[in-house]
């Protein structure tokens, strides 16, 4: 064996001894800080465990477990979109309650002489006290609802006419026609009839 061969041989032995003394790092590079801590490193899952070093208890990474390859997502079946069943009953909106108009005896014929307008109170078809005007002019009888068409206040007889106390709308006492705003309409007229000395309105 010549000098070169001896040197090559000795270098090989030295490197083998070094590799045995210093094993390649197989643990995660991050520090193990608490029991149960987990991390992945080079395809393995490591868990922080208790170990011994020079008689002292230390935290260290275990030997790691290989991480299994994940299954393809394509194998998952799509979530079906639910559609309303044809048998489910449709939502039924409540029917509006319609109360039929009624004949209301409101005054005696003698209570409303010719060329006069009078105010009366009676229960309407909903059983609520309501105010009405009866006006007789040239022997013609007219009935009006005293509810202001502006915002629903009750109009009253005043010196200047039928006056709304809320915003001062004014109506003609003879027929309920609008004389002054802010209302935009005349008073609502009602059907009226006289029979056997009584006056009836329909509301």
Which of 12, 19, 190, 15 shows the shortest CA–CA distance to 106? 190
Q: How many helices (H) and strands (E) does the chain have?
A: 1, 14
Among 32, 130, 148, 199, binds ligand FES (CB under 6 A): 148
Strand ranges, E, within 42-111:
44-53, 56-61, 65-66, 103-108
Instruction: In whole angstroms, give the CA distance from residue 185 to residue 203.
Output: 19
Among 31, 101, 167, 193, binds ligand FES (CB under 6 A): 167
String marking each residue 182-201 x if it binds ligand FES according to CB under 6 A: xx------------------
Among 39-47, 57-65, 143-151, 184-192, the segment contacting ligand FES (CB under 6 A):
143-151
Whether 156 and 111 have beta carbons less than 8 Å apart is answered as: no
Write down the least CB distance from residue 159 to ligand FES, Å: 17
Contact between 166 and ligand FES by CB under 6 A: the answer reads: yes
Q: Which residues bind ligand FES (CB under 6 A)?
A: 148, 150-151, 153, 164, 166-167, 169, 182-183
């Amino acid at each position: 064996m010549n000098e070169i061969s001896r040197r090559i041989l000795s270098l090989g032995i030295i490197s083998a001894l070094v590799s045995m003394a210093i094993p390649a790092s197989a643990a995660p590079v991050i520090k193990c800080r608490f029991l149960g801590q987990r991390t992945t490193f080079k395809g393995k899952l490591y868990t922080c465990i208790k170990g011994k070093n020079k008689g002292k208890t230390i935290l260290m990474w275990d030997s790691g477990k290989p991480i299994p390859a994940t299954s393809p997502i394509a194998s998952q079946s799509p979530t079906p979109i639910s559609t309303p069943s044809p048998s489910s009953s449709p939502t039924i909106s409540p029917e509006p309650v319609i109360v039929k108009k009624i004949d209301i005896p409101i005054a005696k014929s003698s209570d409303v002489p010719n060329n006069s307008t009078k105010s009366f109170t009676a229960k309407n078809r909903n059983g609520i006290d309501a105010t009405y005007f009866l006006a007789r002019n040239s022997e013609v009888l007219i009935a009006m609802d005293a509810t202001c068409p502006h915002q629903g206040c009750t109009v009253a007889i005043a010196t200047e006419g039928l006056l709304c106390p809320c915003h001062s709308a004014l109506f003609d006492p003879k027929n309920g026609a609008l004389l002054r705003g802010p209302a935009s309409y005349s008073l609502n007229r009602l059907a009226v009839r006289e029979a056997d000395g009584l006056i009836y309105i329909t509301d």
